[in-house]
């Protein structure tokens, strides 16, 4: 603790506040995080954080911004190594999203809760979100053009696939999988299998290219 203030004086307080907000949310299970509570946990003066975050909403927005850019970077990285086949790439996209959500459940929940911050007031959130949305739509379009997915309205098709990955991840993060007789150690494998089954089922309905 004694070394923290000197580190923060060198410009790292903002990141420390974001990291601690996630820690507090993980430990307490709450999504309403007080800026003063985060400052207390860090051992800095109660007024110090307000130079970076004037209110709780701005702190939560920063948490969401960092989580969203990390998801985008992971999506782009994983697709670089994905096969050229459009169905395989769609599965990779879904897998990336599910794994990110399962490995970062607190960030996933905080980003998902739009009541914690104003999405449209952020300079970066819409940019990174739209990047992933456009990637999804481009992959769906490629799959449709290759005859690997049925024809249909592109935006709604992409939305449905995003909802599939989101909903599967949410079942684990919200603790619903035990009711489906899924053991914790089997959660990720089960969700990815379910994702692939549905994508393969859609692909099987497509006319031959």
Q: Tell me, yes or no, whether 49 and 73 share the same domain.
A: no
Sign of CA dihedral 15, 20, 21, 23: positive
Cα dihedral 38→102→175→22 (10° resolution):
0
Q: How far apart are CA 14 and CA 91, in angstroms?
A: 36
Q: What is the pLDDT of residue 6?
A: 45
Q: Of the segments 31-40, 47-56, 79-88, 198-207, which one has the largest average pLDDT value?
A: 79-88
| Domain range enclosing 5 | 1-54
Q: How far apart are CA 142 and CA 160, in angstroms?
A: 16
Q: Tell me, yes or no, whether 108 and 14 share the same domain.
A: no
List, for residues 26-40, the tens digit of each pLDDT value: 888 888 788 888 888
CATH of residue 158: 1.10.357.10
Share of residues in the chain with pLDDT > 90 (%): 66
Q: Tell me, yes or no, whether 103 and 33 share the same domain.
A: no
Q: Tell me, yes or no, whether 34 and 118 share the same domain.
A: no
Q: Tell me, yes or no, whether 82 and 16 share the same domain.
A: no
Q: Of the segments 1-5, 23-27, 198-202, which one has the largest average pLDDT value?
A: 198-202
Q: Tell me, yes or no, whether 71 and 97 share the same domain.
A: yes
Q: Tell me, yes or no, whether 73 and 48 share the same domain.
A: no
Would the pLDDT of 149 be above 70?
yes
The number of distinct structural domains making up the chain is: 2
Contact 20, 41 (CB under 8 A): yes
Would the pLDDT of 10 be above 80?
no
Mean pLDDT (the chain) is: 90
Decide: residue 183, CB within 10 A, 0-12 exposed, 13-18 middle, 19+ buried.
exposed
């Amino acid at each position: 603790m004694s070394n923290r203030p000197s580190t923060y004086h060198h410009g790292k307080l903002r990141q420390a506040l974001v990291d601690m907000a996630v820690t507090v949310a993980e430990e307490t299970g709450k999504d309403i995080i007080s800026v003063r509570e985060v400052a207390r946990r860090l051992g800095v003066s109660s007024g110090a954080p307000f130079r970076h975050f004037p209110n709780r909403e701005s702190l939560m927005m920063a948490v969401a911004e960092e989580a969203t850019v990390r998801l985008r970077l992971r999506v782009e990285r994983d697709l670089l190594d994905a096969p050229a086949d459009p169905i395989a790439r769609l599965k990779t996209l879904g897998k990336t999203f599910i794994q990110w959500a399962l490995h970062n459940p607190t960030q996933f929940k905080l980003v998902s809760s739009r009541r914690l911050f104003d999405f449209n007031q952020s300079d970066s959130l819409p940019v990174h979100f739209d990047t992933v949305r456009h990637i999804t739509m481009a992959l769906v379009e490629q799959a449709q053009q290759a005859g690997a997915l049925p024809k249909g309205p592109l935006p709604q098709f992409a939305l449905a696939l995003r909802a599939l990955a989101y909903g599967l991840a949410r079942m684990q993060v919200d603790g619903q999988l035990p009711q489906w007789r899924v053991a914790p150690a089997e959660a990720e494998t089960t969700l990815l299998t379910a994702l692939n089954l549905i994508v393969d089922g859609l692909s099987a309905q497509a006319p031959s290219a």
